[in-house]
Amino acid sequence: MHLLSNRKVLSCRAAREEEVGLLINRIRKDAEPVNLSELLSCLANDVICRTAFGRKYSIGTTAAAGHQDQLAEFMELLGAFSVGDFIPSLSWVNRLTGFDARVDRVASQFDELLEGAVEEGLARLEKQTTAPFIDVLLRLQKDSSEAFRLDREGIKAVILDLFVGGTDTTSTLLEWTMSELIKHPRVMKKLQEELRTKIGREIETVHEADLAEELEYLNLVIRETIRLHPPIPLLAPREMTQDATIMGYDVPSGTMIMTNAWGIGRDAKDWPESPEAFWPERFLDGNNVDFRGQDYQLIPFGAGRRGCPGISFALAVVELALANLVRNFDWELPDGVRGEDLDMTECVGLTMHRQLPLLAIPNRYITVD
Protein backbone atom coordinates (compact mmCIF):
# COMPACT_ATOMS: atom_id res chain seq x y z
CA MET A 1 0.00 0.00 0.00
CA HIS A 2 1.56 3.27 -1.20
CA LEU A 3 0.32 5.26 1.82
CA LEU A 4 2.22 3.00 4.22
CA SER A 5 5.35 2.40 2.15
CA ASN A 6 8.74 2.80 3.84
CA ARG A 7 9.26 6.06 1.95
CA LYS A 8 6.00 7.50 3.19
CA VAL A 9 6.69 6.31 6.75
CA LEU A 10 10.05 8.08 6.62
CA SER A 11 8.44 11.26 5.32
CA CYS A 12 6.22 11.45 8.43
CA ARG A 13 9.24 11.46 10.71
CA ALA A 14 8.97 15.10 11.75
CA ALA A 15 5.43 14.59 13.06
CA ARG A 16 6.49 11.54 15.08
CA GLU A 17 9.52 13.31 16.57
CA GLU A 18 7.54 16.39 17.46
CA GLU A 19 4.73 14.45 19.12
CA VAL A 20 7.12 12.23 21.10
CA GLY A 21 9.02 15.39 22.14
CA LEU A 22 5.76 16.93 23.38
CA LEU A 23 4.94 13.75 25.30
CA ILE A 24 8.32 13.78 27.04
CA ASN A 25 7.99 17.46 27.95
CA ARG A 26 4.53 16.83 29.30
CA ILE A 27 5.79 13.97 31.45
CA ARG A 28 8.51 16.26 32.78
CA LYS A 29 5.94 18.85 33.77
CA ASP A 30 2.90 16.78 34.84
CA ALA A 31 2.13 16.20 38.46
CA GLU A 32 3.22 12.74 39.52
CA PRO A 33 2.27 9.99 38.98
CA VAL A 34 1.50 10.15 35.26
CA ASN A 35 -1.24 8.13 33.58
CA LEU A 36 0.89 6.43 30.93
CA SER A 37 -2.08 4.59 29.38
CA GLU A 38 -3.83 7.87 28.64
CA LEU A 39 -0.70 9.69 27.45
CA LEU A 40 0.28 6.86 25.09
CA SER A 41 -3.22 6.70 23.67
CA CYS A 42 -3.07 10.47 22.96
CA LEU A 43 0.35 10.06 21.36
CA ALA A 44 -0.81 7.36 18.91
CA ASN A 45 -3.95 9.34 18.14
CA ASP A 46 -2.07 12.60 17.50
CA VAL A 47 0.57 10.96 15.29
CA ILE A 48 -2.08 9.26 13.13
CA CYS A 49 -4.21 12.43 12.97
CA ARG A 50 -1.22 14.47 11.80
CA THR A 51 -0.20 11.94 9.16
CA ALA A 52 -3.74 11.24 7.99
CA PHE A 53 -5.36 14.70 8.25
CA GLY A 54 -2.40 17.05 8.41
CA ARG A 55 -3.43 18.30 11.82
CA LYS A 56 -4.36 16.93 15.19
CA TYR A 57 -7.35 17.57 17.36
CA SER A 58 -5.17 19.18 20.02
CA ILE A 59 -5.29 18.34 23.67
CA GLY A 60 -7.36 20.76 25.66
CA THR A 61 -9.90 21.56 22.95
CA THR A 62 -13.44 20.21 23.19
CA ALA A 63 -13.06 18.74 19.71
CA ALA A 64 -10.12 16.71 21.00
CA ALA A 65 -11.94 15.39 24.03
CA GLY A 66 -14.96 14.48 21.90
CA HIS A 67 -12.82 12.84 19.28
CA GLN A 68 -10.88 10.78 21.83
CA ASP A 69 -14.14 9.53 23.39
CA GLN A 70 -15.60 8.76 19.95
CA LEU A 71 -12.60 6.65 19.08
CA ALA A 72 -12.78 4.78 22.39
CA GLU A 73 -16.48 4.04 21.84
CA PHE A 74 -15.85 3.03 18.22
CA MET A 75 -13.19 0.52 19.30
CA GLU A 76 -15.44 -0.81 22.04
CA LEU A 77 -18.27 -1.39 19.53
CA LEU A 78 -15.93 -3.04 17.02
CA GLY A 79 -14.85 -5.55 19.65
CA ALA A 80 -18.33 -6.09 21.10
CA PHE A 81 -20.21 -9.34 20.54
CA SER A 82 -23.03 -8.70 18.08
CA VAL A 83 -25.60 -11.52 18.29
CA GLY A 84 -26.94 -10.72 14.81
CA ASP A 85 -23.56 -11.36 13.19
CA PHE A 86 -23.58 -14.94 14.39
CA ILE A 87 -27.30 -15.78 14.38
CA PRO A 88 -28.98 -13.54 11.77
CA SER A 89 -32.50 -14.50 12.92
CA LEU A 90 -31.66 -12.87 16.28
CA SER A 91 -30.66 -9.51 14.77
CA TRP A 92 -33.64 -7.93 16.52
CA VAL A 93 -31.78 -8.40 19.85
CA ASN A 94 -29.26 -5.76 18.70
CA ARG A 95 -32.09 -3.27 18.20
CA LEU A 96 -33.62 -4.09 21.54
CA THR A 97 -30.38 -3.66 23.51
CA GLY A 98 -29.67 -0.33 21.81
CA PHE A 99 -26.53 -1.77 20.15
CA ASP A 100 -27.67 -0.78 16.63
CA ALA A 101 -28.52 2.76 17.76
CA ARG A 102 -25.04 3.20 19.30
CA VAL A 103 -23.40 1.91 16.11
CA ASP A 104 -25.46 4.38 14.02
CA ARG A 105 -24.64 7.30 16.30
CA VAL A 106 -20.89 6.65 16.40
CA ALA A 107 -20.80 5.99 12.63
CA SER A 108 -22.48 9.32 11.93
CA GLN A 109 -20.15 11.19 14.33
CA PHE A 110 -17.15 9.69 12.57
CA ASP A 111 -18.59 10.52 9.19
CA GLU A 112 -18.94 14.15 10.28
CA LEU A 113 -15.29 14.22 11.34
CA LEU A 114 -14.15 12.66 8.06
CA GLU A 115 -16.33 15.01 5.99
CA GLY A 116 -14.68 17.98 7.74
CA ALA A 117 -11.24 16.52 7.06
CA VAL A 118 -12.05 15.99 3.35
CA GLU A 119 -13.22 19.61 3.04
CA GLU A 120 -10.03 20.86 4.72
CA GLY A 121 -7.96 18.66 2.40
CA LEU A 122 -9.76 20.02 -0.66
CA ALA A 123 -9.03 23.58 0.44
CA ARG A 124 -5.32 22.69 0.82
CA LEU A 125 -5.03 20.75 -2.40
CA GLU A 126 -3.59 23.45 -4.60
CA LYS A 127 -1.18 24.81 -2.01
CA GLN A 128 0.63 22.03 -0.24
CA THR A 129 3.55 19.86 -1.28
CA THR A 130 4.17 17.63 1.75
CA ALA A 131 0.81 15.99 1.86
CA PRO A 132 -1.00 14.15 4.64
CA PHE A 133 -2.67 10.87 3.57
CA ILE A 134 -6.02 12.48 2.90
CA ASP A 135 -4.46 14.95 0.43
CA VAL A 136 -2.65 12.13 -1.37
CA LEU A 137 -5.99 10.37 -1.80
CA LEU A 138 -7.77 13.54 -2.94
CA ARG A 139 -5.04 14.17 -5.51
CA LEU A 140 -5.39 10.58 -6.68
CA GLN A 141 -9.12 11.14 -7.02
CA LYS A 142 -8.58 14.32 -9.02
CA ASP A 143 -6.18 12.61 -11.41
CA SER A 144 -8.09 9.33 -11.58
CA SER A 145 -9.05 7.79 -14.90
CA GLU A 146 -12.15 5.83 -15.92
CA ALA A 147 -10.28 2.60 -15.14
CA PHE A 148 -9.63 3.61 -11.53
CA ARG A 149 -12.24 5.71 -9.77
CA LEU A 150 -11.83 6.70 -6.15
CA ASP A 151 -14.94 8.35 -4.76
CA ARG A 152 -15.41 10.39 -1.58
CA GLU A 153 -16.82 7.43 0.36
CA GLY A 154 -13.80 5.36 -0.69
CA ILE A 155 -11.42 8.02 0.58
CA LYS A 156 -13.20 8.21 3.91
CA ALA A 157 -13.16 4.40 4.19
CA VAL A 158 -9.38 4.24 3.61
CA ILE A 159 -8.72 6.93 6.22
CA LEU A 160 -11.04 5.25 8.70
CA ASP A 161 -9.24 1.93 8.09
CA LEU A 162 -5.87 3.54 8.87
CA PHE A 163 -7.29 5.21 11.90
CA VAL A 164 -8.92 2.14 13.38
CA GLY A 165 -5.96 -0.08 12.43
CA GLY A 166 -3.27 2.26 13.66
CA THR A 167 -4.20 4.10 16.85
CA ASP A 168 -5.37 1.70 19.53
CA THR A 169 -2.99 -1.05 18.37
CA THR A 170 0.10 1.14 18.62
CA SER A 171 -0.78 2.60 22.01
CA THR A 172 -1.69 -0.85 23.38
CA LEU A 173 1.72 -2.22 22.42
CA LEU A 174 3.41 0.75 24.09
CA GLU A 175 1.26 0.38 27.20
CA TRP A 176 2.13 -3.34 27.61
CA THR A 177 5.82 -2.80 26.91
CA MET A 178 6.07 -0.17 29.64
CA SER A 179 4.07 -2.43 31.98
CA GLU A 180 6.37 -5.42 31.40
CA LEU A 181 9.47 -3.24 31.81
CA ILE A 182 8.24 -1.78 35.10
CA LYS A 183 7.27 -5.27 36.29
CA HIS A 184 10.72 -6.64 35.38
CA PRO A 185 13.40 -4.24 36.74
CA ARG A 186 16.23 -6.48 35.43
CA VAL A 187 15.00 -6.08 31.84
CA MET A 188 14.33 -2.36 32.34
CA LYS A 189 17.89 -1.82 33.63
CA LYS A 190 19.43 -3.75 30.75
CA LEU A 191 17.44 -1.76 28.20
CA GLN A 192 18.32 1.52 29.92
CA GLU A 193 21.99 0.58 29.80
CA GLU A 194 21.77 -0.13 26.07
CA LEU A 195 20.01 3.16 25.34
CA ARG A 196 22.09 5.30 27.68
CA THR A 197 25.38 3.87 26.45
CA LYS A 198 24.63 3.90 22.74
CA ILE A 199 22.75 7.21 22.54
CA GLY A 200 24.69 9.07 25.20
CA ARG A 201 23.62 11.85 27.58
CA GLU A 202 24.34 14.90 25.44
CA ILE A 203 20.88 15.22 23.95
CA GLU A 204 17.64 15.71 25.82
CA THR A 205 15.28 14.01 23.38
CA VAL A 206 16.05 11.01 21.20
CA HIS A 207 15.42 11.49 17.47
CA GLU A 208 15.03 8.82 14.82
CA ALA A 209 18.56 9.41 13.56
CA ASP A 210 19.83 8.41 17.04
CA LEU A 211 18.18 5.01 16.59
CA ALA A 212 20.30 4.22 13.53
CA GLU A 213 22.78 2.44 15.81
CA GLU A 214 21.81 -1.23 16.29
CA LEU A 215 19.62 -1.37 19.41
CA GLU A 216 19.35 -5.11 19.74
CA TYR A 217 17.83 -5.31 23.19
CA LEU A 218 15.12 -2.77 22.35
CA ASN A 219 14.15 -4.99 19.43
CA LEU A 220 14.06 -8.12 21.65
CA VAL A 221 11.91 -6.35 24.25
CA ILE A 222 9.35 -5.31 21.62
CA ARG A 223 9.29 -8.83 20.15
CA GLU A 224 8.77 -10.43 23.54
CA THR A 225 6.00 -7.97 24.49
CA ILE A 226 4.08 -8.49 21.27
CA ARG A 227 4.38 -12.28 21.71
CA LEU A 228 2.68 -12.11 25.12
CA HIS A 229 0.36 -9.19 24.34
CA PRO A 230 -0.66 -9.11 20.67
CA PRO A 231 -2.77 -5.92 20.53
CA ILE A 232 -5.45 -7.66 18.40
CA PRO A 233 -5.51 -11.07 20.11
CA LEU A 234 -7.95 -12.69 17.65
CA LEU A 235 -6.72 -10.87 14.50
CA ALA A 236 -9.47 -10.00 11.99
CA PRO A 237 -12.28 -12.51 11.35
CA ARG A 238 -11.90 -14.29 7.99
CA GLU A 239 -14.24 -16.35 5.81
CA MET A 240 -13.11 -19.68 4.36
CA THR A 241 -13.21 -19.55 0.57
CA GLN A 242 -12.92 -23.32 0.16
CA ASP A 243 -13.48 -26.50 2.17
CA ALA A 244 -10.49 -27.51 4.28
CA THR A 245 -9.52 -29.91 7.04
CA ILE A 246 -7.83 -28.15 9.96
CA MET A 247 -6.39 -30.27 12.78
CA GLY A 248 -8.73 -33.10 11.85
CA TYR A 249 -11.86 -30.89 11.69
CA ASP A 250 -13.74 -30.48 8.39
CA VAL A 251 -14.30 -26.74 7.92
CA PRO A 252 -16.68 -25.95 5.04
CA SER A 253 -16.30 -22.99 2.69
CA GLY A 254 -18.12 -19.91 4.02
CA THR A 255 -17.26 -20.58 7.69
CA MET A 256 -16.11 -17.53 9.65
CA ILE A 257 -12.83 -18.27 11.39
CA MET A 258 -10.94 -16.46 14.14
CA THR A 259 -7.20 -16.89 14.67
CA ASN A 260 -6.04 -16.83 18.27
CA ALA A 261 -2.69 -15.02 17.96
CA TRP A 262 -2.61 -14.64 21.76
CA GLY A 263 -2.83 -18.42 22.24
CA ILE A 264 -0.33 -19.11 19.45
CA GLY A 265 2.24 -16.82 21.09
CA ARG A 266 1.97 -18.75 24.38
CA ASP A 267 1.74 -22.27 22.94
CA ALA A 268 4.24 -24.51 24.77
CA LYS A 269 4.73 -26.57 21.59
CA ASP A 270 6.39 -23.59 19.90
CA TRP A 271 7.64 -21.79 23.01
CA PRO A 272 8.89 -24.64 25.19
CA GLU A 273 10.85 -22.51 27.69
CA SER A 274 8.45 -20.87 30.17
CA PRO A 275 5.99 -19.62 27.53
CA GLU A 276 4.17 -17.38 30.04
CA ALA A 277 7.34 -15.65 31.26
CA PHE A 278 8.53 -12.26 29.99
CA TRP A 279 12.04 -13.10 28.87
CA PRO A 280 13.39 -11.18 25.84
CA GLU A 281 16.58 -13.28 25.79
CA ARG A 282 14.57 -16.22 24.40
CA PHE A 283 15.13 -14.61 20.99
CA LEU A 284 18.93 -14.86 21.25
CA ASP A 285 21.12 -17.80 20.27
CA GLY A 286 19.73 -18.51 16.87
CA ASN A 287 16.02 -18.04 17.66
CA ASN A 288 15.25 -15.62 14.86
CA VAL A 289 11.46 -15.96 14.98
CA ASP A 290 10.08 -12.63 13.77
CA PHE A 291 6.61 -11.06 13.86
CA ARG A 292 6.23 -9.88 10.25
CA GLY A 293 4.14 -12.83 9.11
CA GLN A 294 6.82 -15.27 7.94
CA ASP A 295 6.91 -17.36 11.15
CA TYR A 296 3.52 -18.78 12.03
CA GLN A 297 4.33 -19.17 15.74
CA LEU A 298 4.32 -15.35 16.08
CA ILE A 299 1.67 -13.56 14.02
CA PRO A 300 0.48 -10.43 15.88
CA PHE A 301 0.19 -8.57 12.55
CA GLY A 302 -1.53 -11.47 10.74
CA ALA A 303 0.12 -12.96 7.66
CA GLY A 304 -0.26 -13.19 3.92
CA ARG A 305 -1.96 -10.81 1.53
CA ARG A 306 -4.31 -9.31 4.14
CA GLY A 307 -1.68 -9.03 6.88
CA CYS A 308 -1.14 -5.60 8.48
CA PRO A 309 0.34 -3.05 6.04
CA GLY A 310 1.20 -0.68 8.91
CA ILE A 311 4.06 -2.62 10.56
CA SER A 312 6.81 -0.13 9.66
CA PHE A 313 4.60 2.79 10.65
CA ALA A 314 3.81 1.20 14.03
CA LEU A 315 7.41 0.26 14.79
CA ALA A 316 8.66 3.75 13.96
CA VAL A 317 6.36 5.24 16.63
CA VAL A 318 6.88 2.46 19.18
CA GLU A 319 10.71 2.46 18.97
CA LEU A 320 10.99 6.24 19.19
CA ALA A 321 8.56 6.56 22.09
CA LEU A 322 10.14 3.71 24.06
CA ALA A 323 13.68 4.94 23.50
CA ASN A 324 12.66 8.30 24.98
CA LEU A 325 10.56 6.99 27.85
CA VAL A 326 13.12 4.42 28.96
CA ARG A 327 16.31 6.41 28.43
CA ASN A 328 15.11 9.69 29.92
CA PHE A 329 13.42 8.45 33.10
CA ASP A 330 13.73 5.92 35.89
CA TRP A 331 10.22 4.63 36.57
CA GLU A 332 8.56 3.50 39.76
CA LEU A 333 5.03 2.63 40.83
CA PRO A 334 3.02 4.95 43.11
CA ASP A 335 2.50 4.26 46.82
CA GLY A 336 5.69 2.22 47.07
CA VAL A 337 4.18 -0.73 45.17
CA ARG A 338 6.96 -3.00 43.90
CA GLY A 339 7.27 -3.54 40.14
CA GLU A 340 6.73 -7.29 40.42
CA ASP A 341 3.35 -6.65 42.11
CA LEU A 342 1.98 -4.62 39.19
CA ASP A 343 -1.50 -5.84 38.22
CA MET A 344 -1.39 -7.19 34.63
CA THR A 345 -5.08 -8.06 34.16
CA GLU A 346 -6.16 -7.80 30.52
CA CYS A 347 -9.53 -6.53 29.38
CA VAL A 348 -11.51 -8.14 26.59
CA GLY A 349 -12.24 -6.31 23.33
CA LEU A 350 -11.05 -6.05 19.75
CA THR A 351 -7.79 -4.66 21.12
CA MET A 352 -6.58 -6.04 24.41
CA HIS A 353 -5.72 -3.26 26.85
CA ARG A 354 -4.75 -3.32 30.47
CA GLN A 355 -7.85 -3.44 32.61
CA LEU A 356 -6.44 -0.76 34.93
CA PRO A 357 -4.57 2.23 33.53
CA LEU A 358 -0.81 2.23 34.01
CA LEU A 359 0.09 4.92 36.55
CA ALA A 360 3.81 5.44 37.17
CA ILE A 361 6.23 7.99 38.62
CA PRO A 362 8.90 9.31 36.26
CA ASN A 363 12.24 10.20 37.89
CA ARG A 364 14.25 12.35 35.51
CA TYR A 365 17.51 10.78 34.43
CA ILE A 366 18.56 12.95 31.48
CA THR A 367 18.80 16.60 32.44
CA VAL A 368 20.56 18.62 29.77
CA ASP A 369 20.49 22.37 30.40
Which residue ranges are tagged as binding site? Answer: 308
- Specify the length of the chain in residues: 369
Bridge partners of residue 361, in order along the sequence: 332
- What burial class does residue 288 get, using C-beta atoms within 10 Å of its C-beta: 0-12 exposed, 13-18 middle, 19+ buried? exposed
Least distance (Å) from ligand HEM to the CB of residue 12?
9
Cβ proximity to ligand HEM: between 103 and 234 the closer is 234
Least distance (Å) from ligand HEM to the CB of residue 92?
30
Helix (H) or strand (E) holding 239: strand 238-239
Cβ proximity to ligand HEM: between 211 and 311 the closer is 311
Cβ proximity to ligand HEM: between 53 and 301 the closer is 301
Helix (H) or strand (E) holding 112: helix 99-124
Per the annotation, binding residues for heme are 308
CA–CA dist 68, 41 (Å, integer): 9
Least distance (Å) from ligand HEM to the CB of residue 335?
31
Least distance (Å) from ligand HEM to the CB of residue 169?
3
Cβ proximity to ligand HEM: between 240 and 337 the closer is 240
Least distance (Å) from ligand HEM to the CB of residue 201?
30
Cβ proximity to ligand HEM: between 49 and 232 the closer is 232
Q: Are 299 and 263 in contact (CB under 8 A)?
A: no
Q: Are 77 and 107 in contact (CB under 8 A)?
A: no
CA–CA dist 131, 125 (Å, integer): 9
According to DSSP, the β-strands at 359-364 and 34-35 are: antiparallel
Amino acid symbol at 159: I
Cβ proximity to ligand HEM: between 169 and 179 the closer is 169
CA–CA dist 219, 217 (Å, integer): 5
**Interface residues with ligand HEM (CB under 6 A)?**
4, 161-162, 165-166, 169-170, 173, 231-232, 235-236, 300-302, 306-310, 313-314
Least distance (Å) from ligand HEM to the CB of residue 237?
8
Amino acid symbol at 136: V
